[in-house]
């Protein structure tokens, strides 16, 4: 039987920790949340020599064990809770060869917890370029550890790191220095009071607000009572501790590290001057965005057409091949059509995540965050709000989780409330299908009208977020006092493996997350559209035959009229007609109304719902886009999806709060149903008004 060990992967932000995690685990990884909190948790399995498996937990990035945010607390709580299932047999601290001094502060703190710790020095391929040389033997001796010098980009040193993980029992757990010398008498008294406890662990309990589970609660309550020093005194002691650690680190690096500044070649300063310029920086960012949206349209058109026609053909094949009956209809008209309505957007969503991943991997996204901070301040948002708002382009849920590093509760609350305005990937299917129907295919300056419309929708969402933040800022009277500090990582070529894993993971999460909802809703919608009460449904064939007896309709035309009669008087038709008066002023019919209501579970359900409704009773091998284009406005005539109704729909989805999962996360983060209900009512009400005005003006 193979042995499994727990390995905690720890490090400062931007040290390449994710690259190390991907190199060790490959595809054997999953993403979840830490128990009881909504901080993202990545874990994976690494197969080691001699039948050993390493369960690797990628902890949130932290600069030290002096936590200042909730996600940093996760690191401390895991390292201190010895009875926890994820308590590490081994800690791996990932450092950056160019920032070794700063990274070693965290390393020395973890060593004081007497956990066997390996130091990984990443980006070793840049040593010659930066004029850096290291005396590994000397550093290992002084730091009392084993060092793995690696380069994830060049795939060097990974096998040596795996070998060190295999021999984890040989890794020293001895601290590097004696931090208790900052106040000998105080720490001696602490040691006497709790002789069976680890001294540095006690110190962290006294100075940090952390949770240790039920096991050692009595002991830790007693430690809390041991706080004989004031908060100011404890803060001064923490500062002394940091100074002492850096004194040790400086002395160690004097002999263990040599930097030849003359040979260090760096274009970073010149690039930063351009990319973060108050004028050129924004222009470059705008050009990059336009290029991304144009590429999303141009590159994905072929695979999308293939997927669309394939699902239409599959649905028709099922109808022809399988025996007639309810099950065949459910499979062809409900499940296949519903799922086809979401799978068609995989190429565009994958391309979106591809570009976002490249921007992050290259180091450019940090420059964007820095640029956006200038705008945020004017609207009363914290500089730290930039990260959630930008990451909200992928999904609002992790974006709202990312607000945990905002110290001010009011600033954090404002950010939570406005983040859902940012255009997320779930809106993309709705935008893309409506834009394809109502926006012409012309180009201006090489950019298609459709790509420009998509970018405009993203800008409208971002504008709504900062605009509503300004209003909330005025209402709450919040004064922004916090300072925004962002680390500018070095520019680097994106690592293909990391980009591929990110695209695969994010796209898979989107498809399976949406797929579960759509599958369930498609089955329910198919049933509601295929059955109905009363004679108008049950005797549809006789009613239609009598009604059109004098018009000499062909058999196909007659069947279409019969199916239309059934659909209109089915359960879903009755429900749709009930809500139609409320949505008719927006240019929508009852079918769109059903799609809007069902998409309150998740926005992307809109297309799947229409795909299911339009496919019920249809015998034609027709794509969802063609079915939607063929819908006729029953009152005004002409296409139902025209420019006015299309813009109305786009604006409705730009502003409406249609994601139950986001509402649940907001409730969890604010610990109240008040705020998510405010979001639901205000955002949806505003969306209705904007859509109403847009349609009435454009019609």
Q: Residue 209 — very low, low, confident or very high, per pLDDT cuts 50/70/90? A: low
What does the pLDDT read at residue 449? 87
- The better pLDDT of the pair 302, 71 is held by 302
Helix (H) or strand (E) holding 413: helix 409-418
What does the pLDDT read at residue 214? 42
Q: Mean per-residue pLDDT for 184-194? A: 83
Per-residue pLDDT reduced to its tens digit, 128-176: 777 888 999 999 999 999 999 988 888 888 889 998 998 888 898 899 8
Q: Residue 221 — very low, low, confident or very high, per pLDDT cuts 50/70/90? A: low
Whether 219 shows a pLDDT value over 60: the answer reads no
**Angstrom distance (rounded) from CA 261 to CA 439:** 56
What does the pLDDT read at residue 621? 47
Could you tell me if 86 and 78 are in contact, meaning their C-beta atoms sit under 8 angstroms apart?
yes
Q: What share of the chain has pLDDT > 90, as a percent? A: 14
Whether 434 shows a pLDDT value over 80: the answer reads yes
Q: What are phi and psi of 513, to 5 degrees?
A: -65, -50
Structural domain spans, the chain: 4-170, 280-476, 514-698
What does the pLDDT read at residue 683? 93
What does the pLDDT read at residue 153? 80
- The better pLDDT of the pair 2, 512 is held by 512
Whether 405 shows a pLDDT value over 50: the answer reads yes
Q: Residue 35 — very low, low, confident or very high, per pLDDT cuts 50/70/90? A: very low
Could you tell me if 132 and 175 are in contact, meaning their C-beta atoms sit under 8 angstroms apart?
no
Q: Which of 101-110, 504-513, 603-612 has the highest mean pLDDT?
A: 101-110
Which residues make up each annotated binding site for GTP?
11-18, 36-40, 58-61, 122-125
Whether 618 shows a pLDDT value over 70: the answer reads no
**Angstrom distance (rounded) from CA 386 to CA 462:** 11
pTM score, two decimals?
Answer: 0.62
Which residues make up each annotated binding site for Mg(2+)?
22-23, 25-26
What does the pLDDT read at residue 106? 92
Whether 674 shows a pLDDT value over 70: the answer reads yes
What does the pLDDT read at residue 40? 62
Token pair, residue 624, equals: 């969802």
CATH number of 4-170: 3.40.50.300
Q: Residue 496 — very low, low, confident or very high, per pLDDT cuts 50/70/90? A: confident
Q: What angle do CA 253, 256, 259 make, to 5 degrees?
A: 75
The mean of the pLDDT values for the chain is 80
Q: Mean per-residue pLDDT for 424-445? A: 83
**CB neighbour list of residue 439: distance below 8 Å, 6 or more residues apart:** 449, 450, 453, 646
Per-residue pLDDT reduced to its tens digit, 347-398: 877 887 788 788 878 888 778 877 877 777 777 776 667 767 776 776 777 6
Q: Residue 415 — very low, low, confident or very high, per pLDDT cuts 50/70/90? A: confident
- The better pLDDT of the pair 194, 37 is held by 194
Per-residue pLDDT reduced to its tens digit, 500-525: 888 887 787 767 766 777 677 777 77
Q: What share of the chain has pLDDT > 70, as a percent? A: 85
Q: Residue 217 — very low, low, confident or very high, per pLDDT cuts 50/70/90? A: very low
- Give the residue carrying structure tokens 């209402």: 475
Q: Mean per-residue pLDDT for 245-257? A: 91
Closest listed residue to residue 498, CA positions, set 356, 352, 400: 356
Q: Mean per-residue pLDDT for 592-606? A: 79
Which residues make up each annotated binding site?
11-18, 22-23, 25-26, 36-40, 58-61, 122-125
What does the pLDDT read at residue 513? 67
Q: Residue 451 — very low, low, confident or very high, per pLDDT cuts 50/70/90? A: confident
Closest listed residue to residue 3, CA positions, set 46, 59, 57, 58: 46
Q: Residue 658 — very low, low, confident or very high, per pLDDT cuts 50/70/90? A: confident
Angle between helix 231-256 and 136-143 (nearest 10): 150
What does the pLDDT read at residue 623? 62
Q: Residue 301 — very low, low, confident or very high, per pLDDT cuts 50/70/90? A: confident
What does the pLDDT read at residue 33? 43
Whether 1 shows a pLDDT value over 50: the answer reads no
**CB neighbour list of residue 394: distance below 8 Å, 6 or more residues apart:** 353, 356, 424, 425, 506
- Which residues make beta-bridge pairs with 91? 8, 117
What does the pLDDT read at residue 37? 42
Whether 36 shows a pLDDT value over 50: the answer reads no
Could you tell me if 648 and 458 are in contact, meaning their C-beta atoms sit under 8 angstroms apart?
no
Helix (H) or strand (E) holding 54: strand 53-58
Whether 70 shows a pLDDT value over 70: the answer reads no
Whether 335 shows a pLDDT value over 70: the answer reads yes
């Amino acid at each position: 039987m193979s042995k499994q060990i727990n390995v905690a992967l720890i490090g400062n932000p931007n040290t390449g920790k994710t690259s190390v995690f991907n190199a060790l685990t490959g595809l054997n990884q999953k993403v979840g949340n830490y128990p009881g909190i909504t901080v993202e948790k990545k874990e994976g399995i690494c197969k080691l020599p001699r039948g050993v498996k390493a369960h690797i937990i990628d902890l949130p990035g932290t600069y030290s064990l002096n936590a200042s945010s909730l996600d940093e607390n996760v690191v401390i709580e895991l390292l201190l809770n010895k009875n926890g299932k994820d308590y590490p047999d081994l800690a791996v601290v990932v450092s950056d060869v160019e920032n070794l001094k700063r990274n070693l502060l965290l390393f020395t703190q973890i060593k004081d917890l007497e956990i066997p710790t390996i130091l990984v020095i990443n980006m070793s391929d840049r040593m010659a370029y930066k004029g850096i040389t290291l005396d590994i033997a000397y550093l290992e001796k002084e730091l009392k550890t084993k060092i793995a010098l690696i380069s994830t980009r060049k795939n060097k040193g990974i096998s040596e790191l795996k070998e060190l993980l295999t021999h984890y029992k040989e890794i020293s757990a001895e601290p590097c220095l004696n931090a208790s010398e900052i106040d000998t008498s105080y720490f001696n008294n602490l040691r006497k009071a709790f002789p069976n406890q680890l001294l540095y662990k006690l110190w962290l309990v006294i100075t940090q607000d952390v949770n240790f589970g039920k096991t050692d609660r009595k002991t830790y309550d007693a430690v809390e009572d041991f706080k004989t020093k004031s908060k100011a005194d404890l803060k001064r002691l923490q500062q002394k501790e940091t100074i002492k650690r850096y004194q040790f680190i400086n002395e160690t690096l004097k002999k263990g590290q040599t930097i030849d500044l003359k040979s260090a070649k760096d274009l970073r300063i010149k690039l930063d001057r351009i990319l973060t310029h108050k004028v050129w920086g924004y222009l470059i960012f705008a050009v990059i965005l336009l290029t991304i949206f144009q590429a999303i349209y141009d590159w994905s058109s072929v695979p999308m057409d293939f997927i669309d026609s394939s699902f239409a053909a599959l649905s028709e094949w099922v109808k022809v091949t399988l025996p007639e009956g309810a099950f065949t209809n459910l499979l062809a008209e409900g499940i296949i059509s519903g799922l086809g309505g979401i799978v068609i957007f995989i190429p565009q969503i994958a391309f979106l995540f591809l570009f976002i991943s490249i921007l992050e991997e290259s180091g450019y996204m940090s420059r964007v965050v820095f640029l956006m901070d200038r705008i945020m301040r004017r609207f009363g948002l914290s500089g730290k709000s930039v990260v959630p708002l930008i990451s909200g382009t992928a999904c609002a849920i992790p974006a709202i989780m990312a607000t945990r590093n905002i110290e001010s509760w009011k600033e954090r609350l404002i950010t939570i409330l406005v983040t859902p305005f940012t255009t997320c990937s779930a809106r993309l299917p709705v935008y893309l299908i409506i834009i394809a129907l109502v926006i012409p295919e012309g180009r201006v300056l090489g950019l298609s009208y459709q790509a420009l419309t998509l970018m405009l929708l993203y800008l409208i969402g971002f504008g709504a977020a900062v605009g509503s933040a300004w209003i909330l800022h005025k209402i709450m009277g919040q004064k922004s006092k916090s300072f925004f500090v962002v680390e500018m990582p070095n520019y680097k070529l994106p690592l293909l493996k990391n980009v591929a894993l990110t695209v695969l993971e994010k796209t898979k999460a989107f498809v399976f997350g949406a797929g579960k909802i759509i599958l369930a809703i498609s089955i329910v919608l198919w049933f509601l559209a295929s059955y109905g009460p009363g004679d108008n449904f049950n005797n549809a064939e006789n009613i239609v035959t009598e009604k059109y007896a004098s018009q000499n309709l062909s058999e196909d035309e007659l069947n279409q009229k019969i199916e239309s009669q059934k659909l209109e008087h089915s359960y879903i038709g009755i429900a749709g007609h009930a809500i139609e008066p409320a949505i008719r002023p927006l240019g929508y019919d009852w079918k769109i109304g059903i799609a809007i209501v069902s998409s309150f579970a998740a926005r992307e359900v809109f297309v799947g719902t229409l795909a299911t409704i339009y496919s019920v009773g249809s015998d034609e091998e027709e794509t969802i886009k063609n079915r939607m284009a063929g819908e006729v406005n029953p009152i005004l005539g002409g296409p139902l999806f025209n420019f006015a109704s299309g813009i109305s729909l786009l604006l409705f989805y730009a502003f409406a709060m249609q994601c139950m999962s986001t509402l649940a996360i907001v409730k969890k983060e604010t610990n109240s149903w008040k705020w998510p209900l405010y979001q639901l009512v205000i955002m949806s009400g505003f969306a209705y008004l904007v859509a109403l005005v847009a349609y009435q003006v454009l019609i």
